[in-house]
Amino acid sequence: MAADFAATRAMFQLPDGVIYLDGNSLGPLPRGAAERVASCITGEWGDMLITAWNRAGWIDLPRRLGDRIGRLIGAAPGTVVLGDTLSIKVYQALASALELNPGRRVILSDTGNFPSDLYMADGLVRTLGRGCELRTVAPEAVEAAITPDLAVLMLTEVDYRTGRRHDMARLIAKAHEAGALVVWDLAHSAGAIEVDLAGAKADFAVGCTYKYLNSGPGGPAFIYVAPYLADRVRPALSGWLGHAAPFAFDLDYRPGAGIERMRVGTPPILQMAALEASMDIWDRVEMADVRARSIELSEAFLRGVEAACPTLELASPRDPAARGSQVSFRHPEGYAIMQALIARGVIGDFRAPDILRFGFTPLYTTMEEVEAAVRILTGIMATSAWDRAEFRTRAKVT
């Protein structure tokens, strides 16, 4: 059954007069979230108090939501769990992968990776103190840099700035051939493109829920561990809720069964309640339909802007198969242009040094909105409406 995107759009609260092309950064509010969170606060936290951990099933929420996200990323039930932030999950996955490959010391990543992933790797290398090394190459050079000394390949599948997409299955096959494990960051993939973790034989994957999955600011991250590794992984962040028997309060750590061991501490229940409301929307669609619509929307935007705004330089791959669900353009005054757009009700964002980013999210973005965004951007560029001091003042968050 084809997805009914008019119905899914109606399930979001979107402000009048705004065209939202930034769901790749922070998803909008699912209408059901306010009600679900309110009932979690009053009916569960308020009325049930601590008994809600059992009576409202809070304790298993990280697994239940993990299974619902798993459907979108090709992960079998019981292989994904939620908790913590994405940076923490990167650390956890990388530490586990390194430990599973004890004879090797090299982590390979690319210079297009999200800086936090590289910072976490750097911190882990220092903490381990066993001479590990983080090596980074240009994204296009990753495949050739997979050498037999590699312990772990750590990549973000879709580049946060340009939307360029790595060939996951191919790089996994190459890395495995070389005896390395692979950690994928799916921040810009989950809910954006079709991902088949099991089919591609991924070892570890991590991602966030506040972008395409709409859990709200600070929503918890997720982690996937392949079933063949899940009972061999020794968690570096060995918190009590990843213990085999948290309520036995043993003094010694024993990892829980499978993916359970990747839990750390008390999960953020209110934020997970918001995510449940978003997953009620996601449950209505198949990723193949979302991806097909995302390509239609992003192609229309890309072609419209290229035709009408010659000074904006395409920063994303032209081939839709080679990019995620965003389109980016470069301009030396990119920041001011984005502020002028936002002032006219078209919300995208800016990434230094010169990237204007636009995300396409079929659950709530319409073709009419894409066409209107192209018109508004064209007007701004044709009249240099961005060329005002007020648009050049940089805010803390860009």
Ligand X SMILES: Cc1ncc(COP(=O)(O)O)c(C=O)c1O
Residues at the site binding ligand X, with contacts judged by CB under 6 A: 85-87, 114, 116-117, 156, 160, 185, 187-188, 208, 221
CB of 271 to ligand X, least distance (A): 12
- Residue recorded with tokens 């879709």: 158
The verdict on whether 211 is a catalytic residue reads: yes
Between CA 271 and CA 215 the distance in angstroms is 7
**Other residues' Cβ atoms within 10 Å of the Cβ of residue 316:** 25
CB of 90 to ligand X, least distance (A): 6
The verdict on whether 161 is a catalytic residue reads: no
Between CA 395 and CA 398 the distance in angstroms is 6
Residue 83's identity, in one-letter code, is: G
Q: Choose, from 164, 165, 174, 211, the residue flagged as catalytic.
A: 211
E strand or H helix at 327, and its extent? strand 326-330
Closest-CA residue to 337 (of 386, 304, 377, 374): 386
**Measured from the CB atom, is 101 or 116 closer to ligand X?**
116
Q: Choose, from 5, 12, 114, 301, the residue flagged as catalytic.
A: 114
**Measured from the CB atom, is 182 or 221 closer to ligand X?**
221
CB of 240 to ligand X, least distance (A): 22
The verdict on whether 63 is a catalytic residue reads: no
The verdict on whether 357 is a catalytic residue reads: yes
CB of 182 to ligand X, least distance (A): 15
What is the token pair recorded at 124?
A: 């882990």
CB of 115 to ligand X, least distance (A): 8
Q: Choose, from 210, 212, 329, 335, the residue flagged as catalytic.
A: 210
**Measured from the CB atom, is 73 or 309 closer to ligand X?**
73
Distances (CA, A) of 18 to 22, 26, 36, 346, 348: 11, 15, 25, 6, 11
E strand or H helix at 33, and its extent? helix 31-39
- Is the distance from CB of 86 to CB of 99 less than 8 angstroms? no
Q: Choose, from 159, 185, 349, 354, the residue flagged as catalytic.
A: 185
Closest-CA residue to 84 (of 278, 265, 274): 265
**Measured from the CB atom, is 108 or 377 closer to ligand X?**
108
Between CA 328 and CA 316 the distance in angstroms is 5
**Measured from the CB atom, is 86 or 181 closer to ligand X?**
86
- Residues annotated as catalytic are 114, 185, 210-211, 357
